Amino acid sequence: MHRKDFDCDMKALLALQPKDFQKASVKEKVNVRISNPSVHTLYKHLQATNARIMGTDQSRAMTHSKIWSTTVHYGPPTLWITINPSDLHDPIAQIFAGEDIDMDVVNDMCQVSVAKRAENIAKDPYAGAKFFHFNINLIIQSLFGIDSSRQQITSSNGIFGEVVSYIGVIESQNCGTLHLHMILWLKDHLHMILWLKDTPPADEMRRLLKMESFCKHIQTFISQNIHAHIPGMTSYTLKTMQWEADLAYSRPPHPDDPEFQWKFENIKNRLVCSLQIHSCKHCACLQWDYKTMSWKCKRRAPFPLSEKDLWMMLEIGTLNVRMHSLTISSQRSLYMPSAIMTPNYSRMEMQQ
């Protein structure tokens, strides 16, 4: 509400009677425009207020508008990412909840039991939310190269290059924990990686995807940044590995550690076994297909196998990363080697 309109709008709102709202309700039910100017003014102010409240229809509409306007300016988004921090098993979350934990020896001894960790987070949801925002801000700043303050937002080179814009939406799961969905636009991503001057429209992109030279540029970028295969890991070896629910209750190895490479590979294998394995279940991913009269996974499992780093069908423009296991998700949860060393083992899913 503008200052010059305050007195006029205040008088109009004070003059409203219950019968005015009843008439407006009848018109709204039959999708007829509200003719009462006072009710229309109130409705306009309510929409403006709701747009600032997270989770309302107006706030979603505002987010959609931002996404479309950014897409018009920069072209289609480069990456779609989901970040799901493990607040239940992360020692940093337990510190926010009031536990006295020595991070230097957290790998050598289990100081807080699983039941106590769950109790701490359940009793103090503010600590879980504080840990989530601390973790997300750290990932955005350290991995993506984005530094934001109240006055300005600056961007530098991160693990994907320089981010020119990003939009994120926070959601809560059934258990109350938070996770983040975000889309990123990278600076000159098609010009720098695919040798294009401008972002092509959809029809042009379909034509380019059928060109072998164009697909080689995509192959180089994806094979260096996204993996769904670990050497020596097959469906058989995955069955022999133990699933670890509290894998996040630890610290990543220090890069200066003489055994860093071995520890890094060990953590990577354990992360894949604990977080990247997809098992089809009813009421979860399996959906009934009336065309084939059978159950099908909405994640498209089992996933296609490939011996090469990237397998392409140039005639239809589809691509799959190298994979030796039918259960490691390549459609939804791809691990990134450069992001695996985050301060805590959050689940990070990415699609391009």
* pLDDT for the residue numbered 337: 39
Q: Which residues contact 160 (CB under 8 A, 6 or more apart)?
A: 78, 79, 144, 184, 186, 225
Q: How far apart are the C-alpha atoms of 146 and 166, rounded to whole Å? A: 10
Condensed to tens digits (0 to 9), the pLDDT of residues 74-102 reads 878 888 888 888 888 888 888 888 888 87
Is residue 37 over pLDDT 80?
Answer: yes
Confidence of residue 330 (pLDDT cuts 50, 70, 90): very low
Q: How far apart are the C-alpha atoms of 307 and 124, rounded to whole Å? A: 48
CA atoms within 13 A on the CB side of 269: 18
Condensed to tens digits (0 to 9), the pLDDT of residues 148-191 reads 877 888 888 888 888 888 999 888 887 778 889 999 988 865 55
pLDDT > 70: what percent of the chain? 78
Is residue 333 over pLDDT 50?
Answer: no
Mean pLDDT in residue range 202-214 = 76
Higher pLDDT, 146 or 33: 146
* pLDDT for the residue numbered 130: 92
* pLDDT for the residue numbered 342: 42
User: What letters, b where the CB count within 10 A reaches 16 and e where it falls short, cover 260-289?
Assistant: eeeebeebbbbbbbbbbbbeeeeeebbeee
* pLDDT for the residue numbered 98: 86
Q: Of 123-132, 221-230, 249-258, where does mean pLDDT reach its minimum?
A: 221-230
DSSP annotation string for 30-41: TT-----HHHHH
CA atoms within 13 A on the CB side of 25: 6
Q: How far apart are the C-alpha atoms of 296 and 278, rounded to whole Å? A: 14
Is residue 341 over pLDDT 50?
Answer: no
- Please name which of 43, 10, 11 lies closest in space to residue 24, comparing C-alpha atoms: 43
pLDDT > 90: what percent of the chain? 4
Condensed to tens digits (0 to 9), the pLDDT of residues 315-329 reads 555 556 666 665 555
* pLDDT for the residue numbered 2: 62
**Token pair for 26:** 């009848």
Confidence of residue 331 (pLDDT cuts 50, 70, 90): very low
* pLDDT for the residue numbered 134: 92
The mean pLDDT value of the chain amounts to: 76
Is residue 349 over pLDDT 60?
Answer: no
Strongest mean pLDDT among 103-107, 183-187, 207-211, 341-345 = 183-187
Query: What is each CA distance from 319 to 136, 223, 247, in whole angstroms?
Result: 30, 11, 32
Condensed to tens digits (0 to 9), the pLDDT of residues 251-274 reads 778 888 899 888 888 888 888 777
Is residue 38 over pLDDT 70?
Answer: yes
Condensed to tens digits (0 to 9), the pLDDT of residues 52-62 reads 777 777 788 88
* pLDDT for the residue numbered 99: 85
Q: How far apart are the C-alpha atoms of 90 and 106, rounded to whole Å? A: 10
Mean pLDDT in residue range 38-52 = 78
Query: What is each CA distance from 221 to 73, 184, 227, 240, 300, in whole angstroms?
Result: 24, 16, 11, 33, 24
SS3 category, 168 = strand
